[in-house]
Chains A and B, each alone.
Chain A
Amino acid sequence: MTTTEPTPDTSETAPDPAADQVEARVASRARAISRMWDQGAYLRMSEAEARAFEDAGGSGEDTMILNMGPQHPSTHGVLRLMVELQGETVLRTKPVIGYLHTGMEKTGEDLTYLQGPTNTTRMDYASPLFNELVFSLATEKLLGIEVPERATWIRMLMCELNRVSSHLLFMATNGMDLGAVSMMLYGWREREEVLRFFEKVTGLRMNHNYIRPGGVAADLPDGWRDDVLRLLDMIPPRLDEYDVLLTGQPIWRNRLQGVGVITSDEALALGTTGPLLRSTGYAWDLRRDEPYLAYDQVDFDVIVGTYGDCFDRYAIRLHEIRESLRIVAQILEAMPTGDYRVQDKKVTPPPRARIDESMEALIHHFKIFTEGFKVPEGEVYAAVESPRGELGCYIVSDGSAQPMRMHIRGPSFVNLQTLPHLMQGGLIADAVANISSVDPILGEVDR
């Protein structure tokens, strides 16, 4: 890790200035919280209350409450916003969610640890591999097993490519939301190339169930290196085209610059992570700050913004694609040989060929797929940096083959709380830009 720019607060100087820094940050954060209180960007009303409020003539200053969504092309799924408007200006907002709630955490309690990734992968469907990864990391922490080196690097390769595909999807939808419809097609086109590689490796374009407790489901196929090299050759010039099409374009800049501004203190107080937090200039990236997998052995930069506006969030994601490709290039060089899953008979199913020869292998195969493996009692939290921020998994095990409680800390769910603050005081036309720049995936919001 050779990132030179320090986190705004983690200077390695004498303890005294550091303590001052903590104190200053605590104070400015407290001020930000009281400011947010005063502004009251959050509309806290139930539907019935909103209707009564409307019937009573609103707040008396010519306001109205408007529903956006849940079926709206730019709400990225089924998000509904109750927006209080004065003319075209947004006063207060309430995100209404739950339309995609299918009780996946409850379902997770009935699946064995081996089946778990099939469930979690469907939460954030734009970056499924991260969901599988975080579930697997938590399970492995409970089991106390260490996965082979090659499995770790395969996981890194797949996750970075998934970050690329997820951010390309953002590029596409962000362009579409702001009226750059050709951008939508370009983004989908490049994303499809990455998904084609996923299909080759995992068999599926989405919902892969590829990363599992103990390693990955299968080794990389023959010719994977050429495929990745092709992606590395193809995507960067296309990103340069995006720069020509969007980044320097005056209309694009006018739509995004200075729209939806948030400060570091507000973002910290609201629990925000990921590009949304980094856009405020706060360098916090779990890959660098709490390295998991083998991220301490690759070289990359943490991209931060300055103004915390929609343009910064767009630019950060565009640059993160480049950084991810840089990591992928290093992974190609460093990919070790060896096993792709742990050789622990109690966790890993035996290879198909062994089942024909060995009674033991048959028994293990049968036990793992009918009963699953038992996981020691305890509770554990694992976190990874997903394209949207900190993705966490909290598992409580009672010693049986199914988790007693499986909770996913979805970054979209928490980040969505910034939306009222981003929208307040802005125009209704900018609401779409703000929703888009938070990049929520509703499957993960509702789970």
Chain B
Amino acid sequence: MADDAPVDETDDARETEHEETETPQPEQLHGAAVTRPRGETVLHPSREQYLDLVRTLVDEGYLQCVDLTAADYLGHPGRADLPEGTEPERFEIVVGLINHFERQRVRIRVQVPADDPTIDSLFELHPGTEALEREVSDMFGITFDGHPDPSRILMPETWEGHPLRRDYDQGRIPVQFKGAPAQR
């Protein structure tokens, strides 16, 4: 936990952030870089920071995890919207949290590499992510450490492959025409 990120740096970043221009120093919150695209607040922790960050946010009042999903950036590796210091990876876990007290939302984007698609489960902090994490592991093949029931949820238990990956073969069913033979 880099909880003691310099406070004045955060303030500086906020001031220069006003015009939504590129700031030389990325804004930080609990050690994670912050971007604000289109008025939304997005945090970019590393995989190691992720669980601690969510735990800190729960204590701050972000009591509800509304959404957890993933995106596969295969074929679209370079992303302009990542802050400096965050290396783009193939997969990204996207988590939406709400603070009902201040009526605020944050979104967390965590980079997950293709050669080691694992990440900590949020189940202990937000039991409501159970189905959402099962869906992500079903659809993207990302493993959640500490998940109580890592089985498939939407696809059959015997299914192979992960349909929402970009390189998943969609396949075709050939149309067979069995009409009457052409008249001569």
Contacts and interface: CB of A to CB of B under 8 A. Distances in A.
A284 B100 contact: yes
Interface in B146-182: 148-149, 151-157, 163-164, 170
B93 to A, nearest CB: 12
Contacts of A378: 37-38, 81
Contact of A33 (B40, B65, B127, B157): B127
A373 B105 CA distance: 29
B126 A22 contact: no
B76 interface: yes
A98 B26 CA distance: 42
Interface in A129-178: 141-142, 144
Contacts of B81: 377-379
A335 interface: no
Contacts of B89: none
Given A29-B63, A101-B155, A10 B101 contact: yes
Q: How large is the interface on B (under 10, 10 to 19, 20 to 34, 35 or more residues)?
A: 35 or more
Interface in B10-31: none
B100 A10 contact: yes
Contact of A141 (B38, B80, B163): B38
Contact of A417 (B66, B128, B152): B128
A57 B120 CA distance: 35
A268 interface: yes
Interface string B56-70: 001111011111010
A381 B127 contact: no
A18 B107 CA distance: 23
Interface stretch (A181-189, A246-254, A341-349, A390-398): A390-398
A46 B66 contact: no
A44 B148 contact: yes
Contact of A381 (B65, B67, B126, B155): B67
Interface stretch (B1-9, B45-53, B111-119, B129-137): B129-137
B103 interface: yes
Interface in A15-62: 18, 21-22, 25-26, 29, 33, 36, 42, 44, 46-47
B96 interface: yes
Given A26-B63, A47-B157, A405-B71, A417 B131 contact: yes
Interface of B: 37-38, 40, 58-61, 63-67, 69, 71-73, 76, 79-81, 94, 96, 100-103, 105, 107, 109, 124, 126-132, 135, 139, 148-149, 151-157, 163-164, 170
11 contacts: A26-B61, A26-B63, A46-B157, A103-B163, A271-B65, A273-B66, A289-B100, A409-B66, A416-B131, A417-B131, A447-B154
